[in-house]
Amino acid sequence: MGMTLTEKLLANAAGLKEVKVGDLINAKVDIVLGNDITTPVAIREFKKAGFDKVFDNKKIAIVLDHFVPNKDIKSAEQSKVCRDFAYEQNITHFYDVGKMGIEHALLPELGVVTSGDVIVGADSHTCTYGAISAFSTGVGSTDMAYAMATGFEWFKVPPAIKVVLKGKLNKECSGKDVILTLIGMIGVDGALYKSLEFVGDGCKTLSMDDRLCICNMAIEAGAKNGIFEFDEITESYLKGREERKGKVFKADADAEYEQVIEIVLDDIKPTVSCPHLPENTKDAKDLNNIKIDQVVIGSCTNGRMEDMIAAYEVLKGHKVHDKVRCIIIPATMNVYKECIEKGIITEFINAGAVVSTPTCGPCLGGYMGILAKGERCIATTNRNFVGRMGHTESEVYLASPRTAAKSAIAGYITD
């Protein structure tokens, strides 16, 4: 029996001819990632275990993005731990204020990660990099510590679900609507510890920003990873960007999948995930009786340039509703700069929105947009659990940048 794409990558990283579902393997990692919340814990475990040097200072990435610029003393102290360690270990890929971005947008943009990589990160949305045909997954801070020290990580080879994409999205929809639709179909545990492998002619119609968004939310279906096969879009994105030449793997024709799901992209409509689970999806048009207090456009899911352009196209020449707060967060400094150069930031401000430096901030209820009791927010973020963005009696609705921007103008959820 042949191997899936994920199995191919893991077998290569483990130095094995083949692997099968359920195998426990010790695989070499190409990049180990941490942020300002998870890295201090990993550093403590690293030192506690007696390690004094990382396995490769060029293969560790530390991105300060959750509470940066620091919002309080605790976050300042967390960041200082990261800074001290990065300077001590001469970490090449250390990103602080002025150079940072939201980690899962920043690393692909800079070419730190590439195709064929095995990437572990102490953040659940590390699965984002499957968009560039890498195996990437979130791990705990202790796992991060040992990966930083040894360059290896233990994995249990996951079974795979083949998601066959057909057709083409209409202009009102994006990758966010695709992944919300899928999660609505299979549920938040529908791919628990499985690989979501996206294939089919419909993939060719999806941009890299769409793919990054889709793989980012694979974890919201419980998946170990999400991944697209390498194609012309991947090659074009990586060209002139990747720091080192990537590898290309393809699933075998006789690879075994636990399940096959078909999605016709033409049939997808603007979709919203209602409180308090990403699987609680409905058509946006059916929610126009729900008034909102806040809109957040950004995050590692939807803070890239195509997301900013989608919001711009909706907001230009319009005003945010008087009773709505609209917060827009470009995911990286490069995206922020391009928005400035194209006049997009000016239009956001003219519309009545506030624009922030890159940060995860409001997505995890950290800062830059905390909700009070009874308030509702429609956001382009990836989670809407109870209390995710503030008070436990607030509500978060997940949507695409276009839907969120339209709702900001209307004052209620709309397509």
pLDDT band at 289 (very low <50, low <70, confident <90, very high): confident
Q: Is the pLDDT of residue 1 over 90?
A: no
The vertex-236 CA angle with 231 and 239, nearest 5°, equals: 120
Quick one: which of 293, 312, 317 has its CA closest to 370?
293
pLDDT tens across 312-364, in order? 999 999 999 999 999 999 999 999 999 999 999 999 999 999 999 999 999 99
- pLDDT in the model for residue 155: 97
Q: Where are the domains of the chain?
A: 5-263, 272-410
pLDDT tens across 141-182, in order? 999 999 999 999 999 999 999 999 999 999 999 999 999 999
Q: How much of the chain exceeds pLDDT 70, in percent?
A: 100
User: Would 5-263 and 272-410 be classified into the same CATH topology?
Assistant: yes
- pLDDT in the model for residue 288: 87
Other beta carbons within 10 angstroms of residue 48's beta carbon come to 10
State how far the alpha carbon of 412 is from the alpha carbons of 285, 309, 353, in Å.
11, 21, 16
Q: What is the mean pLDDT of residues 37-48?
A: 97
* Tokens describing residue 379: 């956001």
Other beta carbons within 10 angstroms of residue 347's beta carbon come to 18
Return the H-helix or E-strand segment holding 64: none
Q: Report the distance separating Cα 361 and Cα 388, nearest Å.
A: 11
Is CATH 3.30.499.10 what the domain over 272-410 is classified as, yes or no?
Answer: yes
Q: Report the distance separating Cα 381 and Cα 187, nearest Å.
A: 18
- 5-263: which CATH topology? Aconitase; domain 3 (3.30.499)
pLDDT tens across 134-147, in order? 999 999 999 999 99
**Average pLDDT of the residues of the chain:** 97
pLDDT tens across 215-249, in order? 999 999 999 999 999 999 999 999 999 999 999 99
pTM score, whole prediction = 0.96
Q: How many CA atoms lie within 13 A of 250 on its CB side?
A: 5
pLDDT band at 43 (very low <50, low <70, confident <90, very high): very high
